[in-house]
Amino acid sequence: MNEGKHPADRLADAVRTILKELGEDPSREGLQRTPHRAAQAFRFLTRGYAQDPRQIIESAIFASESRDMIIVKDIEIYSLCEHHLLPFYGRCHIGYVPDGRVVGVSKLARLADAYARRLQQQERLTHQIAAALMDALQPIGVGVVIEARHLCMMMRGVEKQNSAMVTSAMLGHFRSSMATRSEFLQLIGRPSPS
């Protein structure tokens, strides 16, 4: 019955079913267009599935003699928790030390979005960004830190509105060199470990 329908219509039907299961009447005036609006919103919020992170990076790699740390900090990220389908949002900080190649600065934000705009765990998201950059550029090292607030923890469950989760992925020299890691953490405004 649903197989011949367009994917957007199937998603709208699923939302309509959820509304009914919640005890709502999807035909009432305020909800008549909700299934379609919600389907469009879910498609937008998960548009990362249609993006190839490697292609994003490879479209803007340039030769460079620089071996100094490059950081883009405070990249806003929005994602959906894969456990509850509730949003989490925050800031992503990406740093790397190049080894002959750099990537266009806007591509770092696009890379973060390509992975964030999927159903995610923050821990995996952090590692995916770092691993993709390490794989594409082969730099001396990569560091990624994400600080995020999770509505699944703020609106339900323990209901802790002021909590934030911090995750990090340190690869290459960022993992093996305390000096490199400390410089990165200091520059993004995070305390470095003793």
What does the radius of gyration of the chain's CA atoms come to, in whole angstroms?
20
Task: Just list the catalytic residues.
Answer: 81-84, 122, 150, 152
What are residue 138's phi and psi, to 5 degrees?
50, 50
Give the separation between CA 100 and CA 144, rounded to whole angstroms: 20
HEC string of 32-97 equals CCHHHHHHHHHHHHCHHHHCCHHHHHHCCEEECCCCCCEEEEEEEEEEEECCCCCEEEEEEEEEEE
Give the separation between CA 187 and CA 190, rounded to whole angstroms: 8
What would the two tokens of residue 56 be?
């994003």
**120 in Cβ contact with 80 (< 8 Å):** yes
